[in-house]
Amino acid sequence: MSRKKDALHRISDEDLIENFQEGDLTAYDEIVYRYKDQLLNFAFRFVGNIEEAEDVVQETFLRLYRNRYAYRRIAKFSTWIYTIASNLAKTELRKRKRRKLVSISDMGFDEKEFEIEDQEADTERVAAGALKEEIIQKAIDELPPRFKQVIILRDIQELSYEEVGEIMAVPLGTVKSRLNRARLKLQTKLKHLMDQERKG
């Protein structure tokens, strides 16, 4: 049994999906095992909420199960599955936008969700990792979706430019220019934090 597992670990993603297409369910389990955390981190940085990110990843694997025969070996499996997750994450964001519009209109002025956080206050907490992460996540969330996607795929998931281009369905040149602009925007937003990091 463990020998079979070892053998599965050595198989490439493309061979795994081929085995799965032929009806091998252990190949599907191996794919889930390989990608669940990667995709969770990708989806989490995209939607900014861990529960929603898990939902996105679950739906991604379910789509993979349903559309397993749609995969052709002409593309890398990783780019294919990232494309599915990326589309689902974008859809989730759109849904959330709609929900937000509804909830604001339903809320009264006495309710606390209208309180705006004071960003200057509590500077000591900046040192804390949780707050740092919160600030970075907030800065990422504020980016337009196409910039957000390119930053997450390249700088957080560390995929190659070519893979990013395939996932986003844009040419390499566009990836480079988009990434450059996204980084500049993010750099401006995180300037204080980066200065602090340098000092610290």
Residue 177 CB, shortest distance to other proteins, in Å, is 10
Angle at 78 between CA 69 and CA 154, to 5 degrees: 150
Beta carbon nearer to other proteins, 105 or 156: 156
The residue from 133, 142, 145, 171 that contacts other proteins (CB under 8 A) is 133
* Interface segment toward other proteins; rule CB under 8 A; list 3-11, 83-91, 101-109, 129-137: 129-137
User: Is 150 within 8 Å of 140 (Cβ atoms)?
Assistant: no
Residue 37 CB, shortest distance to other proteins, in Å, is 5
The residue from 50, 104, 107, 128 that contacts other proteins (CB under 8 A) is 50
Residue 148 CB, shortest distance to other proteins, in Å, is 12
The residue from 19, 30, 45, 85 that contacts other proteins (CB under 8 A) is 45
Instruction: Mark 153-172 with x for binding to other proteins (rule: CB under 8 A) and - for no binding.
Output: --xx-x-xxx---------x
- Residue 97 has a CB neighbour count (10 Å cut-off) of 9
User: Is 159 within 8 Å of 141 (Cβ atoms)?
Assistant: no
Beta carbon nearer to other proteins, 146 or 176: 176
The residue from 111, 122, 141, 197 that contacts other proteins (CB under 8 A) is 197
* Interface segment toward other proteins; rule CB under 8 A; list 51-59, 100-108, 109-117, 141-149: 51-59
* Interface segment toward other proteins; rule CB under 8 A; list 44-52, 82-90, 99-107, 118-126: 44-52
* Of 62, 59, 31, 57, the residue nearest 42 (C-alpha): 57
Residue 62 binds other proteins (CB under 8 A):
yes
Paired tokens of 94? 């759109």
User: Is 82 within 8 Å of 41 (Cβ atoms)?
Assistant: no
Residue 2 CB, shortest distance to other proteins, in Å, is 19
53 contact partners, CB below 8 Å, separation of at least 6: 40, 43, 44, 46, 47, 89
Beta carbon nearer to other proteins, 111 or 195: 195
Q: Alpha helices, DSSP H only, in 22-157? A: 25-47, 50-66, 77-106, 129-141, 145-151
78 contact partners, CB below 8 Å, separation of at least 6: 13, 35, 159, 163
